[in-house]
Chain A
Amino acid sequence: MSTLELYTPTDLNDALRFLEHDGGNSAVIASGTDLLPRMRRRQISPSILVDISAFTEDLRFIRRSDGTIRLGALTTVTDLLESPMFYGRLSMVREAARLFGAPQVRNVATVGGNVCSAASSEDLIPVLMALDAKLKLASARGERTVPLKDFIIGKRQTTMKPSEILVEVSFNEPEGNSWTAYEKLGRRNMLILAMVNEALILSLEDDLQTIHSARLALNRVSGKIPALAVETSDFLEGKRVTDQTIVQAQKVMESELSLTSDFRGSGEYRTEVAQVYLRRLVERCARHIGGSS
């Protein structure tokens, strides 16, 4: 029987040095709320766990400077909920955090873990994708920054190398006539993985009727990969916020999405719900922008 070992590095650099040599056999563990159930189900079988959960001093923070918000990878979902940062224009972060798991999970589950899980049910990924988040990946050889939209390349597959650790997620704070909104459907309200989740950031021109820009992200657009709905987002740009625009955008969305069925719901149902959510998200954002200006 193979042995599972735990490596408790002294600091982040120690962890990175360790991964440089043994990254291939290792899994980085933060809270473990996703990793441990997957290990129990034999979906992954690392021989070494590298525990970074103690590095909260370096990796657990929510900072805002020069229009950019930075989240340390060990920031918990409860931290997001308790932060004053996610009211107003960024309220979709709070909405997603509120609908994330249940209190016991939110108290430990991390932003970095949610992103690295790269599953099609993660609550934070569509939100961060709509915000065009950038990921800072560290390794013993240095750091690199990749856009989240390029990071996830398949179901639970990312471009992260075994020698790397995600240390920070950052995104620009929406400004001016913009707002964000999030919708999630599951079979119950709490402690549920999403059948559909959908996040939108919408900016209007100064007339408060014409869409300047839109970025819509879903837990799945094609197959089981969270992604931006590029065609739908592009279609919305330059259009006025009217019932007709929304109906047309829903049609674009219907052709853009190719959703498969699984035990959580059929592809047809998911597509239907995603279209309904598109309307809600556009209307909610437009209403807030009109009301807040």
Chain B
Amino acid sequence: MSAVPATLEDLPEMAKCAVTINVNGTEHPMQVDAPDRLIDVLRDQLSLKSVKEGCSTGDCGICAVLVDGKLVNSCLMLAAQCDGRRVTTLEGLLEDPVMKRMQGSFIANNAAQCGFCTPAMLMASWDLARHSPEPSSEEIKVAISGILCRCTGYYQIIDSVRQGCEKGGR
């Protein structure tokens, strides 16, 4: 996992595939190239810029989104493989009460430094909060273990997640 990834343009071109992906509740019929990854269509075709590209090799987790309710790295999934599936990005959860609470907790605890990892951290935290109203520090660490914060403000993030979960504020 050490080599510098080739740029998207370096990948060979290919025939278009017609897919329909439900993104944040809306069906999006679109044409994708075979090497297009989910992150490419989310950012470039649908302008969902909360989805960041970091390492492109599954190490940093900054591109995390939900596919059929499961947290995945959108840089490691072909867009064509998402045909007929349901994708959720941070933009789709802005009005969600659990996400609002989590976002408020991140703000209150200064959990964002440069902010680049924040959307992915919020997605992972939201995913945890749905299943675990009162997570332990260990559970929180596991939940965010796939996302790297290069400012290394992990303690603020862990505190935020704890308080952002349903019973964590007590």
* Interface, chain A (partner B; CB < 8 A): 1-6, 8, 29, 31-33, 36-37, 39-42, 47, 49, 51, 53-54, 78, 101-105, 107-108, 189-191, 193, 263
Contacts and interface: CB of A to CB of B under 8 A. Distances in A.
A101 B146 contact: yes
Nearest to A53: B81
Given A103-B71, A107-B70, A32 B76 contact: yes
A263 B80 CA distance: 35
A32 B78 contact: yes
B165 to A, nearest CB: 16
B137 interface: no
Given A103-B142, A190-B146, A5 B5 contact: no
A6 B146 contact: no
A103 B15 contact: no
A33 B55 CA distance: 13
A105 B73 contact: yes
Contacts of A40: 5-6, 11, 56-57
B145 A29 contact: no
Interface stretch (B58-66, B87-95, B98-106): B58-66
Given A4-B13, A105-B73, 12 more contacts: A3-B12, A32-B78, A40-B57, A54-B81, A103-B124, A103-B143, A103-B146, A104-B58, A107-B72, A108-B72, A108-B76, A190-B141
B20 to A, nearest CB: 14
B114 interface: no
Contacts of B59: 191
A2 B146 CA distance: 34
A109 B156 CA distance: 30
A124 to B, nearest CB: 17
- Binding site secondary structure of chain A: loop
Contacts, number: 108
Contacts of B81: 29, 32, 51, 53-54
Interface in B14-57: 14-15, 17, 34-35, 37, 56-57
Contact of A33 (B5, B58, B70): B58
- Binding site secondary structure of chain B: loop
A104 B12 contact: no
Contact of A6 (B17, B37, B64, B75): B17
A47 B11 CA distance: 11
- Closest CB pairs A-B (n = 5): A102-B146, A190-B145, A6-B34, A37-B57, A107-B70
Contacts of B2: 263
A191 B146 contact: yes
A104 B69 CA distance: 11
Contact of B76 (A37, A51, A263): A37
A250 to B, nearest CB: 31
A53 B84 CA distance: 13
Contacts of B6: 40-42
Contacts of A104: 58, 61, 64, 71-73, 124, 146
Residue among B15, B64, B76 with max Cβ neighbours from chain A (10 Å): B76
Contacts of A53: 81
B145 A191 contact: yes
A6 to B, nearest CB: 4
A41 B3 contact: yes
